[in-house]
Protein backbone atom coordinates (compact mmCIF):
# COMPACT_ATOMS: atom_id res chain seq x y z
CA UNK A 1 0.00 0.00 0.00
CA UNK A 2 1.20 3.52 -0.81
CA UNK A 3 0.31 7.14 -0.18
CA UNK A 4 0.61 10.02 -2.63
CA UNK A 5 0.14 13.75 -2.05
CA UNK A 6 -0.08 16.22 -4.92
CA UNK A 7 -1.07 19.85 -5.36
CA UNK A 8 -2.56 21.57 -8.38
CA UNK A 9 -4.28 24.74 -9.49
CA UNK A 10 -7.87 24.66 -10.67
CA UNK A 11 -8.18 25.30 -14.41
CA UNK A 12 -11.52 27.07 -13.81
CA UNK A 13 -12.14 29.93 -11.40
CA UNK A 14 -14.99 28.07 -9.67
CA UNK A 15 -14.79 24.29 -10.15
CA UNK A 16 -17.87 22.20 -9.30
CA UNK A 17 -16.68 20.74 -6.00
CA UNK A 18 -19.84 18.69 -5.46
CA UNK A 19 -19.31 16.97 -8.81
CA UNK A 20 -15.61 16.41 -8.08
CA UNK A 21 -16.51 14.85 -4.71
CA UNK A 22 -19.18 12.57 -6.20
CA UNK A 23 -16.91 11.30 -8.98
CA UNK A 24 -13.93 10.91 -6.62
CA UNK A 25 -15.92 8.96 -4.06
CA UNK A 26 -17.25 6.59 -6.73
CA UNK A 27 -13.88 6.04 -8.39
CA UNK A 28 -11.98 5.69 -5.12
CA UNK A 29 -14.44 3.15 -3.72
CA UNK A 30 -14.16 1.11 -6.92
CA UNK A 31 -10.34 1.24 -6.84
CA UNK A 32 -9.82 0.67 -3.10
CA UNK A 33 -8.44 4.18 -2.55
CA UNK A 34 -9.04 6.52 0.37
CA UNK A 35 -7.78 9.99 1.11
CA UNK A 36 -8.49 13.65 1.58
CA UNK A 37 -9.06 16.43 -0.96
CA UNK A 38 -8.75 20.07 0.09
CA UNK A 39 -9.63 23.08 -2.06
CA UNK A 40 -8.81 26.67 -1.22
CA UNK A 41 -8.39 29.84 -3.23
CA UNK A 42 -8.27 28.04 -6.56
CA UNK A 43 -5.85 25.33 -5.46
CA UNK A 44 -6.19 21.64 -4.64
CA UNK A 45 -4.11 19.41 -2.44
CA UNK A 46 -4.98 15.74 -2.27
CA UNK A 47 -3.67 12.82 -0.27
CA UNK A 48 -4.52 9.43 -1.76
CA UNK A 49 -3.69 5.99 -0.40
CA UNK A 50 -4.25 2.42 -1.41
CA UNK A 51 -2.87 -0.32 -3.66
CA UNK A 52 0.12 0.89 -5.68
CA UNK A 53 -1.24 0.06 -9.14
CA UNK A 54 -4.62 1.67 -8.42
CA UNK A 55 -2.89 4.74 -7.02
CA UNK A 56 -0.65 4.99 -10.09
CA UNK A 57 -3.59 4.68 -12.50
CA UNK A 58 -5.61 7.28 -10.59
CA UNK A 59 -2.74 9.76 -10.52
CA UNK A 60 -2.20 9.27 -14.26
CA UNK A 61 -5.90 10.14 -14.81
CA UNK A 62 -5.51 13.23 -12.62
CA UNK A 63 -2.49 14.34 -14.68
CA UNK A 64 -4.72 14.25 -17.79
CA UNK A 65 -7.76 15.86 -16.10
CA UNK A 66 -8.43 19.27 -17.71
CA UNK A 67 -9.80 20.61 -14.39
CA UNK A 68 -6.21 20.64 -13.04
CA UNK A 69 -3.15 22.59 -14.12
CA UNK A 70 0.33 22.99 -12.63
CA UNK A 71 0.18 19.56 -10.97
CA UNK A 72 3.10 18.74 -8.71
CA UNK A 73 3.74 15.53 -6.79
CA UNK A 74 4.70 16.47 -3.22
CA UNK A 75 5.08 13.13 -1.49
CA UNK A 76 4.93 9.41 -2.25
CA UNK A 77 5.78 6.58 0.15
CA UNK A 78 4.81 3.06 1.15
CA UNK A 79 2.49 2.81 4.16
CA UNK A 80 1.53 -0.05 6.44
CA UNK A 81 -1.95 1.26 7.24
CA UNK A 82 -4.32 3.88 5.92
CA UNK A 83 -4.13 7.38 7.36
CA UNK A 84 -7.60 8.27 6.02
CA UNK A 85 -9.69 5.10 6.24
CA UNK A 86 -12.80 6.95 4.98
CA UNK A 87 -12.79 9.17 1.92
CA UNK A 88 -13.41 12.76 3.01
CA UNK A 89 -13.27 16.14 1.36
CA UNK A 90 -12.58 19.32 3.26
CA UNK A 91 -14.13 22.23 1.38
CA UNK A 92 -14.05 25.85 2.43
CA UNK A 93 -16.33 27.05 -0.36
CA UNK A 94 -19.19 24.61 0.33
CA UNK A 95 -21.34 25.73 3.25
CA UNK A 96 -24.34 24.57 5.27
CA UNK A 97 -26.88 22.50 3.35
CA UNK A 98 -24.56 22.33 0.34
CA UNK A 99 -22.03 20.14 2.17
CA UNK A 100 -22.38 16.69 0.57
CA UNK A 101 -22.35 13.49 2.61
CA UNK A 102 -18.86 12.43 3.61
CA UNK A 103 -17.56 16.00 3.49
CA UNK A 104 -16.71 18.40 6.28
CA UNK A 105 -16.20 22.14 6.52
CA UNK A 106 -12.49 22.89 6.40
CA UNK A 107 -11.50 24.61 9.64
CA UNK A 108 -8.54 24.56 11.99
CA UNK A 109 -10.58 22.30 14.30
CA UNK A 110 -11.19 19.76 11.52
CA UNK A 111 -7.47 19.66 10.70
CA UNK A 112 -6.61 19.18 14.37
CA UNK A 113 -9.16 16.34 14.53
CA UNK A 114 -7.43 14.61 11.63
CA UNK A 115 -4.08 14.90 13.40
CA UNK A 116 -5.42 13.76 16.79
CA UNK A 117 -6.13 10.30 15.37
CA UNK A 118 -2.42 9.50 14.85
CA UNK A 119 -2.50 10.21 11.12
CA UNK A 120 0.68 10.16 9.07
CA UNK A 121 2.82 13.06 10.24
CA UNK A 122 4.24 13.87 6.81
CA UNK A 123 0.82 13.94 5.14
CA UNK A 124 -0.67 16.05 7.92
CA UNK A 125 2.20 18.53 7.72
CA UNK A 126 1.62 19.01 3.98
CA UNK A 127 -2.13 19.44 4.41
CA UNK A 128 -1.78 21.85 7.33
CA UNK A 129 0.81 23.91 5.43
CA UNK A 130 -1.59 24.20 2.50
CA UNK A 131 -4.36 25.37 4.80
CA UNK A 132 -2.06 27.82 6.64
CA UNK A 133 -1.04 29.49 3.38
CA UNK A 134 -4.64 29.63 2.13
CA UNK A 135 -6.23 30.85 5.38
CA UNK A 136 -3.60 32.45 7.64
CA UNK A 137 -6.19 34.25 9.80
CA UNK A 138 -7.93 30.97 10.70
CA UNK A 139 -4.71 29.40 11.95
CA UNK A 140 -4.14 32.04 14.63
CA UNK A 141 -5.17 31.00 18.11
pLDDT in tens, 66-124: 988 888 888 898 999 888 776 654 444 433 444 445 555 555 565 555 545 554 566 66
Strand 88-91 and strand 103-105: the pairing is: parallel
Q: Where are the beta strands (DSSP E) in the chain?
A: 2-10, 34-40, 43-50, 68-78, 88-91, 103-105
Nearest to 43 by CA among 91, 112, 84: 91
CA distance 18 to 121: 28
Q: pLDDT value at position 94?
A: 36
Q: pLDDT value at position 7?
A: 84
Q: pLDDT value at position 21?
A: 79
CATH code of 120's domain = 3.30.70.100
In the chain, the number of structural domains is 1
- pTM for this prediction: 0.68
| DSSP code, position 74 | E
Q: Which domain holds residue 54?
A: 2-139
pLDDT in tens, 29-75: 889 998 888 777 677 888 899 999 999 999 999 999 998 888 888 88
Amino acid sequence: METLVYASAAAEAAPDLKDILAVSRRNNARNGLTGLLLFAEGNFIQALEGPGEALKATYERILKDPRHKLIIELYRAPIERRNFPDWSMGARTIEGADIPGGAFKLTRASLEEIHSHDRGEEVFTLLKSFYRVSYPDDMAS
